[in-house]
Structure 1
Amino acid sequence: MDRRSTLGLAAALALSAPRTLRAQTFDHAIRLIVPFAPGGTSDILARLLAPDLTRALGQNVVVENRTGAGGNIGADLVAKSPPDGHTLLLIDVSTLATAPSLYTRLPFDLKRDLAPITMLIYAPYILAVHPSVPAQNAAELVAFAKANPQRLNVGHAGIGVGNHLTGLLVTQHWGADLTQVPYRGGAAALTAVAAGESQMIINGATATAPFCKQGTLRPIAVTGPARLADFPDIPTFHELGWPAADSGTWQGVLAQGGTPAPTVVRLASEIASAMAMPATAQRITALGAVNRVEGPENFRTWLDNEIEVWSRVVRANNLRLD
């Protein structure tokens, strides 16, 4: 969605809101919970948006990192917060969508206890390797992985998160035996692979591209519909015929499930406006992401579909976390 479309959505949200929209005020600081460690895609985006939202809402928007359990600790904090719009969750929602199938005793009900406010961005995944891996392209990487069972450690953001499941699908498609290594978030996984502790990663372009530009990681392939402008020679999963070709990090904002509709609409409108700010839009593009602002209803439909799609992958791989 381009800037004009984002501005149009912000205006539409405001026009379609109840008359009480203007009355939806905020009387103390707003906590923007990021359930992953600093330096990952969610954290980068939260800190990019916080200043504009502070100005728009008239209260400080404070980013808090509450890590653990694949994002569920932070999500549970928001789910159990007062339903007044003062505690928000910014998360990779494709990862959040795996929680109901991974946990039999999830401490919150995703559909009941969290209210979608708006989607924010889509960032494709970059599959990259440490420079010590003797593979310069996809064909060489697949051949090396198949010839060297368990030689490659694949760092990911946690069991059951989007990049872990994508990695499982891809390596199964290769017919290769790789070792999946969970870390406490994408930032920790990136650091580990850049240091050579693990040798391969599939992770959001927003956080991964800088490592590739610096030469500390070697990009091999990307998800999404098109090659990245910064890496025009790197093929897409689509071109390679790999599965999960449209997977990636889909970032969104949610509130507590009982949050009044006018408050949800006000937040959605202000966030859409913030996302359309020229400096923010340019920064998102520079990070290799695409603006995908969606209102609450479209976001809910998307999330319901993701829950179903990833539950099939979880079941097929017999994954459980409790």
Structure 2
Amino acid sequence: MSARLRQGLVLGAALILAATAAMAQNYPTRPVRFVVPYAPGGSTDTLARTMGTKLSDLLGQQVVVDNRPGANGDIGMSIVAKAPPDGYSIVLGYIANLAIGPSLYDKMPYDPVKDFTSITQVAGASNIFVIHPSLPAKNFKEFIAYAKANPKKVTFASAGVASVGHLTGELLNDMAGIDMLHVPYKGSGQAISDLVGGHVKVMISGMASTLPHVRSGKLIGIVTTGAKRTPATPDIPTIGETYPGFESSSWFGVLGPAGMPKPVVMRLNADIHKSLQDPAVAKRLANVGFEITYGTPEQFAAYIQSEIKKWAKVVKASGAKPE
């Protein structure tokens, strides 16, 4: 390599680094698109909109929540995976897309590890087992007795095949010796609507979308799925109190396209953490069952990989197949 060529390459690299540093220092200079890969009204949407308002204030630019549902969340995830890695397209990833999908599908439209930049985990959440009041059961013990006496007559809705709600329901089928009939939907919104209407009888879902119906009396919350009772529902027991060792929780995190500049990642990481620490944001999220969890980008990336391994075993044991 000639000295002139080597000098040119060094100069080119220096210019690229300088441009990247300048972009990061000025970031953001325009609105940030915050993709939610699910329809409005679900837990993911609630979380994004709650933290997005405060995040707009901190960034000094509007954070625009962009719902892109479809294909069990893969459409929205793919949009961000293919976007320019400049920090202006981010996504609120969910356990189903990042940890369960790789074991369910032979081929996904994105790689949850290689095609994204992990920014931060933001929240975890116990799910809640809700039933329609028309069922002759008012608590978990009565429900299990009824389900055992009526195999395949209890219809249980989920947001889709191999969703967290579906897999948790199959785990309960196995552990409790019952046989609920799975009815998959394309998202939690329609599933909850049909549950409230009595067209299906039970569902395991996020609290953000179901607690309002429990509090209004349209649904009955009989158990939660986390390791311990939640502050939002202290009087509702966990499944683990009846079946020791049973635990299934959801988690959420913010990601961007692979290759984002480190300064932009750290700016988003810091401001997302600040938004979650805002008293009004924290209170609203706690009221609908979210537990705030955040850390470094590296911690979130490592967590995703550990969860992929964990859920691979669950998917295999459940026998779940893609629609």
* TM-score by shorter chain over 0.5: yes
SS of structure 2 residue aligned to 1:97: helix
SS of structure 2 residue aligned to 1:98: helix
Structure 1 vs Structure 2 CA RMSD: 1.9
Change (3 A) 1:108 1:232: closer
Quote the Cα distance in structure 1 between the aligned partners of 2:313 and 2:137. 32
Aligned to 1:175: 177
Quote the Cα distance in structure 2 between the aligned partners of 1:144 and 1:91. 36
Change (3 A) 1:273 1:200: same
- Greater length-normalized contact order (CA 8 Å, ≥ 6 residues apart): 1
Quote the Cα distance in structure 1 between the aligned partners of 2:23 and 2:120. 16
Contact 1:21 1:265 in 2 (8 A): no
Q: Deviations over 1:177-220 (max 9, x none)?
A: 11111112222221121111111010112222111111111111
1:104 Cα deviation from its structure 2 partner: 1.1
Aligned to 1:270: 271
Matched to 1:181, the amino acid is V
Is residue 124 of structure 1 aligned with residue 126 of structure 2? yes
Quote the Cα distance in structure 2 between the aligned partners of 1:21 and 1:214. 49
1:298 Cα deviation from its structure 2 partner: 1.3
1:230 Cα deviation from its structure 2 partner: 4.6
TM-score w.r.t. length of structure 2:
0.89
Q: Deviations over 1:110-134 (max 9, x none)?
A: 1100121111111111111000011
SS of structure 2 residue aligned to 1:294: coil
Quote the Cα distance in structure 2 between the aligned partners of 1:318 and 1:73. 24
Greater Rg, structure 1 or structure 2?
2
**1:1-322 matches, cutoff 5 A:** 23=25, 25-241=27-243, 244-245=246-247, 247-321=248-322
Contact 1:123 1:206 in 2 (8 A): no
Contact 2:171 2:318 in 1 (8 A): no
Q: Deviations over 1:38-96 (max 9, x none)?
A: 11111011111222222222222111111112111111111111111111111323553
4+ residue runs over 4 A deviation: 19-22
Contact 1:41 1:207 in 2 (8 A): yes
**Number of residues of Structure 1 aligned to a counterpart in Structure 2:** 304
Quote the Cα distance in structure 1 between the aligned partners of 2:240 and 2:26. 45
Quote the Cα distance in structure 1 between the aligned partners of 2:302 and 2:257. 17
SS of structure 2 residue aligned to 1:293: coil
Q: Which runs of 5+ in 1 are unaligned?
A: 1-18
Change (3 A) 1:44 1:310: same
Quote the Cα distance in structure 2 between the aligned partners of 1:231 and 1:149. 29
SS of structure 2 residue aligned to 1:47: helix
Quote the Cα distance in structure 1 between the aligned partners of 2:231 and 2:67. 31
Bigger mean CA offset, 85-94 vs 116-125: 85-94
| Percent of aligned positions that are identical | 38
Quote the Cα distance in structure 2 between the aligned partners of 1:201 and 1:243. 21
Q: Deviations over 1:108-164 (max 9, x none)?
A: 111100121111111111111000011111111111111111111111111112121
Contact 1:84 1:259 in 2 (8 A): yes
